Structure 1
Amino acid sequence: MTQSVLAPPAIAAATPRVGSPARVSVRRNDDVTRLLPRPLLVVIIVVLLAVVLIPVLYIFFASVNSDTGVASGQFFPTEFHLDNYLLIWNTVDLGTGLVNSVIVCGAVAVVCAFVAVGSAYVLVRFVFRGRATYLRALLGLQSIPGTLMLLPVFVLFASVGTALGVPIIGTRGALFVTYLTFALPFSTWVMVTYLRGLPRELEEAARIDGASSWRILTRIVVPLSWPGIVVSAIFAFLLGWNDVLFASVLTNSDTRTAAVALQVFGATQEGGAIPLYGQMMAASLVCALPVVVLYLVFQRYLVGGLTAGGVK
């Protein structure tokens, strides 16, 4: 009698019903995570894509268009001039600029990322006098505009070069030190935020096995921190790649970066006859291509590195 009474509820509990609590909770979760109605969300995404892609398409079409066509306001070219991508290497000293940018920015990215992960490990895992002051100083350095530091940096490098008898201004080393100084505070803060999310139990287990702090850093912390390291490196790389102000003052014709080469090319086209619009647009796309490739290669690390520490 007891089994006949309890059997139907058991069967009913095992059989999912339409509108069951599990399905209702899934629907509620979808409603919560979706901040906007689907039609409005589609409209916003289309608008954002248009804002981003239309300028890029215009630059691409202008790079394969004639100069007169661009000057007349054509969006889609009537005739294609693919030779603009070949002429820029003779019109602009773009090859030298790209090589200098890759060398300087790549070195800054690598050094900045690994110095930042070491500094962040000490700041997160060790307690010492002046630790909070150092963290506040990193925030203070980020708030200083770079334009205010141009003259002091120039005077400092000129004075050091005069004292040592070695030319510093006009070398890649001057750019390297400058970019590293401005990129290191932000990169350190990114790594501090990321390392705070790593479990301490892994390091404690390694210490029980007799591992030193250096071995823990190189064998445990660094392999687990690749997303944060990649974000730090890309930020440092972009800081130098997009800079024109310091590169135009601290370099010469042999060490100028790609951004300065584009600036000089654009300045030479002002006034007179119709500027070489097609070659200017082609040179701009060529200079932007390494950054796009960099983002595509390290895309899977960027999301984890930027969102680290956001959820506790």
Structure 2
Amino acid sequence: MSVSTPTLQTQPSAVDRPGSAQQNEVTRLLPPWLLVTVTVLLCAAVLIPIVYIAMASLNSDIGVASGEFWPSSWTLSNYSTIWTSVGLANGLMNSLIVAGSTAVVSAAFSIGTAFVLVRYQFRGRRTILRLLLGFQSIPGTLIVLPLFVLFSSSATYLGLQVIGTRWGLFVTYLTFSLPFSTWVMVTYLRGLPKELEEAARIDGATNLGVLTRIILPLSWPGLIVSAIFAFLPGWNDVLFASVMTRPDTQTAAVALQIFSSATEGGALPQYGQMMAAALVSAAPVVLIYMFFQKYLVGGLTSGGVK
């Protein structure tokens, strides 16, 4: 006759249970009161200026100049006037063309370049990676004058007009965005399993087939991140756009700067129109972030955990 011995079942302690109060206390970086305080302060530092700009855009110039936070008289005339006084429509169109084309071309070139740098071993590979990283440390102010002289001389020696054209500004932005986009894609492709590519090669796929059928569908988060970070410098830049453009090709950032400088010498600066134009110019970037938020999170965190 066998005697069965009862098994002792130990209850997990409060520390071992996931989601317990003790575990939360251990893993929490800040005390609750300090966490709430820091969160409120950070949100206030971001939201208060945005709310003030929105309120000022709905206020009259006299009200903004007198320091009113809450408008005494609400008006939407600023949003209807900026399209003629600031020239915002032409600036937004030029910014979308230049920054959008820079983002698309930079992302397209970066995935092919990163695929070669990650999956193939050749002499000079590490040197190229170091050079791409080193290009990011060069300040843009050091390149403005040499780039302007180079593009100006092209009209004399080659008969090719670069200064004042959209495509000249596009080439300028591409030189800065392509190295960073390539590094983003290098980091992302390092996290993709090689087994998928090996299986595709066994099935007879060529290098181009592996890139277009395997790598490209899996790299959309990284591509969107590289495209957005290539789009932002072209959208926000004033330095190169003010040198490389003329009135019919100037971007929205340059149009805002010119309008602000022109109204500073007046008896009453047009604060309401400047605030409205600033909000309209920032709206495309905000919409892009909101629409591609999940891809941004996935692309930026890729490669962090192996």
Q: TM-score, normalised by structure 1?
A: 0.94
Q: CA deviation at 1:40?
A: 1.3
1:135 aligns with 129
**Structure 1 pair 32/19, CA: closer, same or farther in 2 (3 Å)?**
closer
1:279 aligns with 2:273: yes
Q: CA deviation at 1:34?
A: 2.4
Q: In structure 1, the residue corresponding to 2:141 is in which secondary structure?
A: helix
Instruction: Say how many residue pairs are matched.
Output: 306
Q: In structure 2, the residue corresponding to 1:5 is in which secondary structure?
A: coil
1:244 aligns with 2:235: no
Q: CA deviation at 1:272?
A: 2.7
2:32 aligns with 38
Distance, in Å, in 2 between the alignment partners of 1:167 and 1:220 is 41
Distance, in Å, in 1 between the alignment partners of 2:26 and 2:305 is 17
Amino acid paired to 1:136: R
Q: In structure 1, the residue corresponding to 2:79 is in which secondary structure?
A: helix
Distance, in Å, in 2 between the alignment partners of 1:33 and 1:111 is 43
2:200 aligns with 206
1:234 aligns with 2:231: no
Q: 1:92 aligns with which of 76, 86, 90?
A: 86
**Structure 1 pair 25/279, CA: closer, same or farther in 2 (3 Å)?**
closer
Higher mean alpha-carbon deviation, 145-154 vs 74-83, is at: 74-83
**Structure 1 pair 131/26, CA: closer, same or farther in 2 (3 Å)?**
farther
Map 1:82-161 to 2 at 5 A. Answer: 82-161=76-155
Q: In structure 2, the residue corresponding to 1:128 is in which secondary structure?
A: coil
Amino acid paired to 1:243: D
**Contact 2:15/2:23 (CA < 8 Å) preserved in 1?**
no
1:76 aligns with 70
Distance, in Å, in 2 between the alignment partners of 1:294 and 1:275 is 31
1:189 aligns with 2:186: no
For residues 234-272 of structure 1, what are the alpha-carbon distances to aligned partners after superposition, in whole Å with 9 as ceiling and x for unaligned? 011001000000000000000000000000000100123
Q: CA deviation at 1:114?
A: 1.1
Distance, in Å, in 2 between the alignment partners of 1:277 and 1:25 is 51
**Contact 2:14/2:20 (CA < 8 Å) preserved in 1?**
no
For residues 70-129 of structure 1, what are the alpha-carbon distances to aligned partners after superposition, in whole Å with 9 as ceiling and x for unaligned? 111111111111111001111111000000000010000000011011100100000011
Amino acid paired to 2:247: S
Q: In structure 2, the residue corresponding to 1:269 is in which secondary structure?
A: helix
**Structure 1 pair 224/82, CA: closer, same or farther in 2 (3 Å)?**
same
Higher mean alpha-carbon deviation, 160-169 vs 243-252, is at: 160-169
Distance, in Å, in 2 between the alignment partners of 1:233 and 1:105 is 10
Q: In structure 1, the residue corresponding to 2:72 is in which secondary structure?
A: coil
**Contact 2:16/2:23 (CA < 8 Å) preserved in 1?**
no
1:222 aligns with 2:216: yes
Distance, in Å, in 2 between the alignment partners of 1:272 and 1:299 is 42
1:265 aligns with 2:250: no
1:301 aligns with 295
Seq. identity, %? 63
Stretches of structure 1 that go unaligned for 5 or more consecutive residues are none
Q: CA deviation at 1:161?
A: 2.1
**Structure 1 pair 90/75, CA: closer, same or farther in 2 (3 Å)?**
same
Distance, in Å, in 2 between the alignment partners of 1:200 and 1:186 is 24
Give every structure 1 segment of 4 or more consecutive aligned residues whose post-TM-superposition deviation is greater than 2 Å. 1-6, 16-22, 24-34
Distance, in Å, in 2 between the alignment partners of 1:161 and 1:190 is 35
1:255 aligns with 2:257: no
Distance, in Å, in 1 between the alignment partners of 2:277 and 2:265 is 20
Q: In structure 2, the residue corresponding to 1:233 is in which secondary structure?
A: helix
**Structure 1 pair 24/116, CA: closer, same or farther in 2 (3 Å)?**
closer
Amino acid paired to 1:61: M
Amino acid paired to 1:253: P
